[in-house]
Structure 1
Amino acid sequence: MTIYQAPYWFLIAAILVGLMAVLGIFLRSKGMVTKWYDWAIISVGLLMGMFALQNYFGSISEFENQAATMFLTFMGIPALIILAIAGALIMRRKAKAAV
């Protein structure tokens, strides 16, 4: 990572935190209840996703295409699964409250 790339990752992290705040406001306006561990799971999923993307682009810049693809596969797919689990937990809690 060069000195010029660091502000971009900070900017991406700031955007993700802002999007999480907007998601919280949206869920509250729709009447969906979230617990603290939902946000912990979402945070872990986003951190894994950012880690996968950073290493993907780092490997691509070093012309290691196979390593980039493998890392994106082994870290990106679990990140998406974790985010899907968090979404399912929130939707399931909403369905229970409606019954």
Structure 2
Amino acid sequence: MQYFIPFALIGAVVAIGIYEFVKWLRRNGIKATWYEWLMGAVGLVLLLLGIQHFFGAMSELFYFAAWMGLTIIGVPALILMLVAWQLIARRAKQS
């Protein structure tokens, strides 16, 4: 119950971010391919998993495990989302 507010805020930020991203794609007339959506979605799910692991391990007072889990799960998530973003941005620059 103590983490309801942080996770609700995370959910709101994610929802607003996805909405703004789709709005930006439509406004600029960019079509994302299925594998870019897949990479972005897998990256987002991994990032949310890493954040949940961080909060869970911190509540159990496993500080090292919290930071290592966030690093091990979060860094590949950020890399996947960055690659997806770069693929979309480069296609937008070409057209």
TM range (shorter): 0.7 to 0.9
Q: Distance in 1 between matches of 2:6 and 2:93?
A: 39
Q: Secondary structure at 1:44's aligned position in 2? A: helix
Partner of 2:28: 30
Instruction: Compute the TM-score of the two structures, normalised by the length of structure 1.
Output: 0.79
- 1:68 Cα deviation after fit: 0.6
Q: Distance in 2 between matches of 1:11 and 1:37?
A: 28
Partner of 1:63: 61
Q: Distance in 2 between matches of 1:41 and 1:13?
A: 19
Q: Which has the larger radius of gyration?
A: 1
Mapped pair 1:52 → 2:50: yes
Partner of 2:70: 72
Q: Distance in 1 between matches of 2:5 and 2:35?
A: 29
AA in 1 matched with 2:45:
L
Partner of 1:13: 11
Q: Distance in 2 between matches of 1:91 and 1:26?
A: 11
Q: Which stretches in structure 1 are left out of the alignment for 5+ residues?
A: none
AA in 2 matched with 1:37:
Y
**Percent of aligned pairs with the same residue?**
34
Number of residues of Structure 1 aligned to a counterpart in Structure 2:
95
Q: Secondary structure at 1:31's aligned position in 2? A: coil
- CA RMSD of the aligned region, Å? 2.0
- 1:84 Cα deviation after fit: 0.4
**1:4-48 deviations in whole A, cap 9, x for unaligned?**
546753663354234212211112212322123222211111110
Instruction: Compute the TM-score of the two structures, normalised by the length of structure 2.
Output: 0.82
